[in-house]
Amino acid sequence: MSIDLTKLDTEKVNRNTVNIDRANTVEMLTLMNNEDFTIAEAVKKEVKNIAKAVDLVYERLSKGGRLIYIGAGNSGRLGVLDACECPPTFGVDEGTVIGIISGGYDATVRANEGSEDIEEGSIEQLKKIGLSEKDAIVGLSASGRTPYVKGALKYAKEIGASHIAISCVKDAEISSLGQVAIEIITGAEAITGSTRLKAGTAQKMVLNMISTCSMIKCGKTYGNYMIDVRARNNKLIERSKKIIMDCTSVDKETAEKYLKESDGNVKTAVFMILSGLSKDDSIEVLAKNHNTIYKALQALKK
């Protein structure tokens, strides 16, 4: 089946960069940087739809479901990247946020673009991970027409999972397949059709927003601190101590003491200090209040 690329915003010729191959290095970089300035504004226009996506994802996560990113090529790799970042940042299990890319794991480091044309491929992979109505999937396609992503969104709807479509073109084909459609119109790329540039940056920005805000709503932060950070290296151990100190105004020695008493759990350590409760009581009160510190503190006051 032939594809009319002229209809896709991401395939248009950028008149600002037609002479980029004749520019010196500074001019070349300036041309690209000028294009990048437009990305945040394009994302801003979709904030209301991104908010709808966050609420759908949070609703599933809060009931024990999963967030699953699925895409092909650069879009798929961005989903895998965001999923990989969630466990160390927010302390979630590795199976809570999943990134699936057409072509499988090897496609994260070696392009396998042909696999994106097979709708059934995504369905097979979603069945392998046991996608259910408890989960939320985010389908990523810069062009908004990738068959692999279409198949995933159709299957998610069929089984009752939340399904969100993210593209970088207006009136994208996948938009009609999503409960929520996010269209970030970044326009013509500095290099025609190279969606790893503006479109890729825009998609990563939106994924940052979806995962971060969903986790905030799940109680994974206290203020703007990563209260569920996993301290698995020296840098993160020191960060954990600093979070405890900043959130409770205790000194480093006290922070170290409570971090040890809480078995390295920063959230528990902070709540123990703020509430005056023991470790076991802190864990119990937090569990009764969605594992959210400010909600647990409010409950104690009542």
Q: Looking at the annotation, which residues are catalytic? A: 85, 116
CA 221/CA 291 separation, integer angstroms: 10
Residue 289 DSSP class: T
Q: Are the C-beta atoms of 214 and 57 separated by less than 8 Å?
A: yes
- How far, rounded to the nearest angstrom, does the alpha carbon of residue 175 sit from its chain's CA centroid? 19
Q: How many helices (H) and strands (E) does the chain have?
A: 12, 5
Residue given tokens 């009542």 in the structure block: 302
CA 32/CA 189 separation, integer angstroms: 9
Q: Are the C-beta atoms of 218 and 58 separated by less than 8 Å?
A: yes
Distance between first and last Cα of the chain: 65
